[in-house]
Amino acid sequence: MKDKFWSQPSQEVLDDLKVTREGLSNTEVEKRTEQYGKNTLTTKGKTTLLQKFIAQFKDLMIIVLMIAALISVFVGEGVDALIIFMVVILNAVFGVFQESKAEEAIDALQELSAPQAHVKRDGKVVTIKSEDIVPGDIVLLEAGDIVPADLRLTESASLKMEEAALTGESVPVIKKIDTIDEENPALGDRKNMAFMNSNVTFGRGEGVVVGTGMKTEVGRIADLINNAEETTTPLQQNLARLSKTLTVLILIIAVIVFAVGMVRGQESLINMFLTAISLAVAAIPEGLPAIVTITLALGTQRMAKRHAIIRKLPAVETLGSTDIIASDKTGTLTQNKMTVEKVFIDNQLQDAGTVKPADLTANHRLFDLMILNNDTKKTDDGLVGDPTETALISFNDGQQYSSDDVIAKLPRLAEVPFDSERKLMSTVNDLGNGKYLLTVKGAPDELLKRTTSFDVAGEVSPMDDAEIKLIQDTNHHLATKAIRVLGFAYQILDEVPTELTSEAVEKDLIFAGLIGMIDPERPEVSQAVKEAQEAGIRPLMITGDHRDTAGAIAKRLGMITDEEMNTAVITGAELDSMSDDELAKRVNQYSVYARVAPEHKVRIVNAWQKKGKIVAMTGDGVNDAPSLKQADIGVAMGITGTEVSKGASDMILADDNFSTIVVAVEEGRKVFANIQKAIQYLLSANLGEVLTLFVMTMMGWQILAPVHILWINLVTDTFPAIALGLEPAEKNSMQQKPRGKSASFLSGGVSSNIIYQGLLEGAITLFVYAMALAFPVHSGSQLVHADALTMAFATLGLIQLFHAFNSKSIHGSIFSATTLKNKFFNWSIVISFALLALTIIVPGLNDIFHVSHLDGFQWLIVLASSVSMVVIVEIVKFVQRKFFHAV
């Protein structure tokens, strides 16, 4: 079959499909079902829970952890091995739970399909399941129907369709059957086509099926979702790089120590092997994956309370690194609800909020015309009908001018239905005094052709050039602001017309006024856009709406300026003329993308990603699903969003509030900062341990045993590091630029901090050990070495606990009113201190840990040395802030 059905006359399409207007025969239906298959969407192969669970163990850091657990078993520390195994398994279970719904997008698309359809077969109208439709079927449509497949329309009687979920068009599209001459019109401009899953809002029509299942426009979206590349988040990339670096360093250090020890011959093979194992255990940050997971999980809980629902844990941190927020317009930046904004009455343009119909004299016909020339129905669920018409009823009812009273007082007797050619609709209503009111609404230009007079406060005057110019100028002024304009006119009749045609009725009209409507921006969005820009994030608008509408809304939101209206707005047709490379080069120029198709959205996201930007894509429609999945983080609307968009997203806005995205970005930045603090704390502590063991080995001293290192890591790495994940956001976090894709957890001075702080911890510990050897409290070589080892053990543990206070801020001072605000952190330090001290103080435990009792003087040396870490690091931080402008 051909695919440019919009460019063919409807009869030619019927001929190509070998079908008449009477429909297919049952025999032919069977043949075509066998040829084309069912009218359903195919899905990607599902990943089982077991496969998802196994996949959690492919991460290099998890592998390193498993090795650490095996080493712990080898050296006889079964408790530590058990703890590590539990952490790994819990992490895997949590990951599977968070991501088990990641592939629901296609299922949701399938559920959207219309369950039944009315078709002609063998000259009879029958109702069938939508999945049984085949190409060539003749489908009948009427208001309230869901289109079951892609159709080339053959009949259209005032047919209107709501296609917002597919095209982004905020207003129902008027359908026609005429051939479209344009070479490759945008989806929303294919007026003679009806697309699968669109809603019929008005009128009736008939069409021939030209695409079913995966051959429909919705099917193309399903295919895009199926083929979208799985992207790794910055967090996953950071942890992967960190894991590889640590693994290499651990192996190198362990091999060097083992080799040096064997060459020197001071220790046996088994002892040197255990020493190398101790070094490996010291270097591995066993608690890191658990700390990252817990910090992210706590972030999701905080975000959920603020209406941002996270579907995938890494999305929390990804938000914090976002450079671009590419947002759908309809339903996301705007309310997806047509609203009366301007009223032109008595030759004056007024804001709708200042106009009070009930307070005006009865001579003003405009408000009655808005109500009477209207097919809106009221139900228990609200207003039902064309959005432009429901907006007119909402306006009057909202201004305490009862539409029910007007309709009851002036009942409709006849009508001339809306027609897309003349762009007008007329009704005849009974005035109750032997007279009849003709109401006419429609396009202002068409209305002016039929008016001979105009009404100002009930005074009717002949239409002149000055009045025509004023009306036309007002219409043009509103149109440039993306406001949809309807004109209203009337005439008093002596009798109901016998001939209800446009030519007989719509003439010699009296102009009553103009109504300007728009799908207004959400009230909170302008401030959210401003906050995003202050945070160095660039908001973009991507929509299926027209160029002028999109540009005007973007300007109102502060996304673009007046000067950028012609340069920062691009259409889908213009995108088609660009190659991917050309788009990537010029993508910085554009902030508004209008009249785009689903594949355009994916191209736009890809273009920004090629420039190294982290892209968040928001949306609510079926058409947004592929780009939501392609983006670094997809954000779906929770209220107005389709299940398709939710299934393809990483985060859902429960309140559909754009400003919630900014809140989520702030939370994401806080999560990254807290993970970075934990990493600095853990790695500097582990470096201190490695340095201590390395130098002890090189010096031929009695070294700390694996049990010492494992206990220190268990006590100091767990609670304080987790507590750092609960730190409040630092000041001005939303005034900083995004850190960028190339940034890592070691950026921003963290790597240098880890090195000098780790060296400092090791140096202080070795100093205490050397001083204990040089100035022994007890006599006897064995006791002296036991005391020195115990003091080194205590110092290495306590120095990390004090250093946790330093790690509350990468560069900021801890001497502030907020230092002790985190109660969980305070208790974690107390508990960790107690657990460390008990191994030395409690009789029996010190034998298990091979340590001796310390007297008061020895404890004083340990405490003073540990506290010195805080003093030295704070001095370095001061120098960094003063001379290197660290923040």
Q: Per-residue pLDDT averaged across 313-331, rounded?
A: 81
- Read off the pLDDT band of 106 (50, 70, 90): very low
For residue 66, pLDDT beyond 80: no
Give the helix/strand (H/E) hosting 486.
strand 484-493
Distance CA 164, CA 349 (A): 30
Mean pLDDT of 38-62: 68
CA distance 629 to 632: 8
Find the range with the poorest average confidence among 95-99, 194-198, 207-211, 428-432.
95-99
Q: Mean pLDDT lowest for which of 203-212, 325-334, 538-547?
A: 325-334
Domains of the chain: 5-43+108-220 (2.70.150.10), 287-306+664-883 (1.20.1110.10), 314-335+522-656 (3.40.50.1000), 339-518 (3.40.1110.10)
**Of 816 and 491, more confident:** 491
Give me 568's structure tokens.
């920062």
Q: Which helix (H) or strand (E) holds 150?
A: strand 150-162
How many CB atoms lie under 10 A from the CB of residue 795? Answer: 27
> Residue 512 and residue 360: Cα distance in Å, rounded?
14
Quickly list H helices, 611-658.
625-630, 643-647
Residues 721 and 661 sit within 8 Å (Cβ to Cβ)? no
Residue 211 pLDDT exceeds 50: yes
The residue ranking higher by pLDDT, 104 or 62, is 62
Q: d(Cα 679, Cα 644) in Å, to the nearest integer?
A: 37
For the annotated catalytic residues, the residue numbers are 328
On the CB side of 833, how many CA atoms lie within 13 Å of its CA?
16
For residue 266, pLDDT beyond 50: yes
The residue type found at 58 is K
Write down the pLDDT at residue 153: 94
Q: What gap in Å lies between CA 217 and CA 227, rounded to an integer?
A: 15
Q: Give the three-class secondary structure for 259.
A: helix
With 80 as the cut, is the pLDDT of residue 48 above it?
no
Residues 6+ apart with CB under 8 A from 660: 306, 307, 308, 653, 654
Average pLDDT over residues 811-835: 82
pLDDT range class, residue 206, cuts 50, 70, 90: very high
Residue 486 pLDDT greater than 90, yes or no: yes
Give the list of residues 6+ apart from residue 676 with CB closer than 8 angstroms, or none. 745, 748, 750, 810
Rounded Cα gap, residues 600 and 542, in angstroms? 9
Taking each helix axis as running N to C, give the angle between helix 60-74 and helix 234-264, from 0 to 180 degrees, rounded to the nearest 10: 40
Is the CB of residue 490 less than 8 Å from the CB of residue 440? yes
- Residue 833 to residue 835: CA distance in whole angstroms: 6
Nearest CA among 165, 215, 198 for reference residue 5:
215
**C-alpha dist (Å) from residue 683 to 246, 283, 672, 876, 884:** 10, 8, 16, 18, 23
Average pLDDT, the chain: 82
More confident residue, 507 or 76: 507
What is the pLDDT, as a whole number, of residue 539? 92
Amino acid at the residue 884: F
Quick one: pLDDT at residue 467? 94
Give the DSSP H or E segment for 425.
strand 424-430
- Indicate the burial class of 819 (C-beta count within 10 angstroms; 0-12, 13-18, 19 or more): middle
Statement: residue 28 has pLDDT above 70: yes
For residue 102, name the pLDDT band (cuts at 50, 70, 90): very low
d(CA 559, CA 183): 32
**Residue of higher predicted confidence among 699 and 270:** 699
Nearest Cα to Cα of residue 412 among 358, 460, 458, 368? 368
Examine the pLDDT at 145 and tell me if it is beyond 60. Answer: yes
pTM above 0.85, yes or no: no
Lowest mean pLDDT among 436-445, 529-538, 725-734: 725-734
Please determine, for residue 401, whether its predicted confidence score (pLDDT) is greater than 70: yes
Nearest alpha carbon to residue 282 among 624, 775, 717: 717
Of 708, 699, 678, the C-alpha closest to 281 is 708
Q: Which of 476, 632, 488, 615 is nearest to 542 (CA)?
A: 615
| CA 595 vs CA 167, 197, 601, 665, 811: distances in Å | 8, 19, 11, 28, 47
* 3-class secondary structure, 879: helix
CB 887 within 8 A of CB 730: no
Task: Tell me which range, 505-509, 667-671, 720-724, 843-847, is most confidently predicted by mean pLDDT.
Answer: 505-509
Using DSSP's 3-state secondary structure scheme, residue 305 falls into: helix
The winner for highest mean pLDDT among 177-191, 205-219, 645-659, 682-696 is: 205-219
